Amino acid sequence: MYTLIDGKQVSQAVKDRVKDETAQIKENGGEITLAVIIVGDDPASRVYVNNKKKACEYVGFKSVEYALSADTTQEELIDLIKELNARDDINGILCQLPLPKHIDKWAVIAAIDVKKDVDAFSAYNVGKIMIGDYDFLPCTPAGVMEMLSYYNIEVQGKKCLMIGRSNIVGKPMAMLLMHKNGTVTIAHSYTKNLSELSKEADIVVVAVKIPKFLTADMVKDGAVVIDVGIHRMENGKLCGDVDFENVKDKCSFITPVPGGVGPMTIATLMQNTLKAYKIQHQLD
Q: What is the pLDDT, as a whole number, of residue 206?
A: 98
Alpha-carbon span 22 to 3, nearest angstrom: 32
Rounded to an integer, the average pLDDT of 145-159 is 98
Q: Does pLDDT of 63 surpass 80?
A: yes
31 close to 62: Cβ distance less than 8 angstroms:
yes
Rounded to an integer, the average pLDDT of 14-19 is 98
Band (236; pLDDT cuts 50, 70, 90): confident
Q: What is the pLDDT, as a whole number, of residue 228?
A: 97
Alpha-carbon span 257 to 264, nearest angstrom: 12
Q: Does pLDDT of 168 surpass 90?
A: yes
In this structure, what is the dihedral angle of CA atoms 265, 145, 237, 249, given to the nearest 10 degrees?
-170
Q: What is the pLDDT, as a whole number, of residue 44?
A: 86
Catalytic residue among 52, 115, 171, 248: 52
Which CATH number applies to 29-113: 3.40.50.10800, 3.90.1150.10, 3.30.70.3270, 3.40.50.10860?
Answer: 3.40.50.10860
* 96 catalytic per annotation: yes
Catalytic residue among 15, 96, 113, 243: 96
Q: Which amino acid is at 1?
A: M
What does pLDDT average to over the chain? 96
Catalytic residue among 117, 119, 202, 227: 119
State pLDDT tens for residues 31-47.
999 999 999 998 889 99
Alpha-carbon span 151 to 280, nearest angstrom: 32
Q: What are phi and psi of 33, to 5 degrees?
A: -130, 130
State pLDDT tens for residues 199-230.
999 999 999 999 999 999 999 999 999 999 99
Q: Does pLDDT of 113 surpass 80?
A: yes
199 close to 218: Cβ distance less than 8 angstroms:
yes
Rounded to an integer, the average pLDDT of 137-146 is 97
Q: Does pLDDT of 284 surpass 80?
A: no
* 119 catalytic per annotation: yes
In the chain, which residues fall in CATH 3.40.50.10860?
29-113
139-261, CATH topology level: Rossmann fold (3.40.50)
Rounded to an integer, the average pLDDT of 139-150 is 98
In the chain, which residues fall in CATH 3.40.50.720?
139-261
Rounded to an integer, the average pLDDT of 247-275 is 97
Q: What is the pLDDT, as a whole number, of residue 234?
A: 87
* 104 catalytic per annotation: no
* pTM reported for the whole predicted model: 0.94
Number of H helices, E strands in the chain: 10, 11
Q: What is the pLDDT, as a whole number, of residue 162?
A: 98
Q: What is the pLDDT, as a whole number, of residue 187?
A: 98
